Structure 1
Amino acid sequence: MNDAWLYVMLLGAAAVVYAFLIPKEKSAKQASGSDRVVQQVEQTLEQYMVEMEKENDDLVNLLVQIRQETGAKQLALQEQLGDMRGRLAEMERTAGKHEARIEQLSSVDPRAAQEAAIQLRNELLENAATLSPSPEPQPEPEDSVRHRYPQLFELHDQGKSVDFIAKAIGLQRGEIQLILRLAKREEA
């Protein structure tokens, strides 16, 4: 009977040892599976961080480039502003000289003053043409359509519609269209 009892004890001990070994194997398999998941997550995060770092570097480079371009444009605009101020000062000096000359001539003879004013205006336009890189429009004849309807052309140059101009000035729509066509014909 002792032998049977011994066999039962050995069999029980083997079952207990086997029971302890089975969960360890499963937990080891689960641990190796979770290790793989952790490794995959770490790799994904590392790739994401590398991409973010690259995008940040690109963004910083872009901002540096924009800052440099803005600085260069600002310097160019400051130079242009200085040039324009110089031109304006020159034009003001010239205008002052011409005004003094017109006043001087107007005290002598009004007709001569008018002729001198026309001559001075032409000189000013020539002077402005030499100072300005863009060509100035040629003076319009005294009896041009633009001189007869200054308010109409002012509104038209502002981009107002024909209907708006008609209401504002009190002319018919057809009259305004005719005047605009005549002005185009005169300019050509």
Structure 2
Amino acid sequence: MSPWIIIVILGACAIAYALIMPKKNKVQEPGHHLVQEMESTLEHYMAEIENDNDALIQRVAEMKGEATAADLRMQSQLQELQRRLDQLEESKTTETDTLPKTIPVHSASGLQAQALVDSVRAESVQHVLEAEEQTPVQELKPTRESIKDRYAELFNLYVEGKSVDAIAKQTGIQRGEVQLILQLAEREES
């Protein structure tokens, strides 16, 4: 073949290749753009999931702290009740020790003196039993817990200078309820 035919064939091949090449890139560009769009969407979704997980972890930690505080309050109440029970048992033993076991009869003159002694003994036992029945009811009345003890976390945040909105957000108590609690505490102090 002659050299000019080879040059023309090579030129035609180059032109055909040049025409095919941009079409190939144009077809790939929308696909590439779609892949980038999906990647950015997935990254955004993963960021949202991570934020939600962080918020969930924080809430679980707050709940754990609240549960620990409630547990400590219950333990202190249990210790107080145990102390009161010990005092009641001790007072009961001292009362039974002070009762006369036997009342001496100086005159052996008969059954009337013995009957009198038995009736006095029965009355004293009856009075002791009545006192024992009334004492636990009176002493086991629950003491009124102050509002500052019940909402210690709220008042700690208030003392730190936090706003009512910040306290409501952090404790999970509604804003109006926070204001009401603060007002009740002021009334309780006066």
Q: Give the alignment's TM-score, normalised by structure 1.
A: 0.59
What amino acid is aligned across from residue 114 of structure 1 in structure 2? D
Change (3 A) 1:105 1:61: farther
Match runs of 1:1-188 below 5 Å: 6-98=7-99, 101-105=100-104, 110-128=114-132, 131-134=135-138
Higher RCO by CA contacts (8 Å cutoff, separation 6 or greater): 2
What amino acid is aligned across from residue 128 of structure 2 in structure 1? L
Change (3 A) 1:19 1:113: farther
Could you list the runs of 5+ residues in structure 1 that have no partner in the other structure?
A: 136-188
Alignment partners' CA distance in 2, 1:20 and 1:37: 26
Alignment partners' CA distance in 1, 2:66 and 2:126: 48
Could you list the runs of 5+ residues in structure 2 that have no partner in the other structure?
A: 140-190
Work out whether residues 91 and 128 of structure 1, in 8 Å CA contact, stay in contact via their aligned partners in 2. yes
CA shift for structure 1 position 97: 2.3
Change (3 A) 1:124 1:63: same
CA shift for structure 1 position 4: 6.2
For the pair shown, the structure with the greater C-alpha radius of gyration is: 1
What amino acid is aligned across from residue 34 of structure 1 in structure 2? V
Following superposition, which runs of at least 4 residues in structure 1 exceed 4 angstroms of deviation? 1-7, 104-110
What amino acid is aligned across from residue 97 of structure 1 in structure 2? T
Alignment partners' CA distance in 1, 2:125 and 2:103: 16
CA shift for structure 1 position 129: 5.2
Alignment partners' CA distance in 2, 1:7 and 1:35: 42
CA shift for structure 1 position 52: 1.3
SS at match of 1:103: coil
Give RMSD over aligned pairs.
2.9
Deviations 1:47-100 (A, max 9, x none): 1111111111111111111110111111011111101110111001111222xx
Deviations 1:140-181 (A, max 9, x none): xxxxxxxxxxxxxxxxxxxxxxxxxxxxxxxxxxxxxxxxxx
Change (3 A) 1:106 1:20: farther
What amino acid is aligned across from residue 120 of structure 1 in structure 2? S
Q: Give the alignment's TM-score, normalised by structure 2.
A: 0.58
